[in-house]
Structure 1
């Protein structure tokens, strides 16, 4: 499979980018105190999906930007 269509995020990503986004989500979640609410996980995931479409950045930057957006909300 060459790409994966992410329905909720409205994007099509290669498998390597999906792995990078998952790593960014895991990294962002690891910085938050337990327990992390499902709503928070969903907000971070949506931010990472959107940011991955808008920017060409790596795992650490995706995680950092998603956490910044979470603080702003």
Structure 2
């Protein structure tokens, strides 16, 4: 006769922790949004594409650092 539930002595295996926490995801999504927005605005303002990409990457990095310090 098999049991549908485990015996009392057996504990279920511990759950794996998530790959990213909610805080990390919020920071990364905000940084991606700010970076894309700043890159697009720079390009529409007449900046060359490589410089607009650098602007977006710089804005993303600054957003990550700023939100990390702000949310602590």
TM bracket (short chain): 0.3 to 0.5
Which structure carries more strand by proportion? Answer: 1
Q: Which structure would you say has the larger Rg?
A: 2
Compute the TM-score of the two structures, normalised by the length of structure 1: 0.42
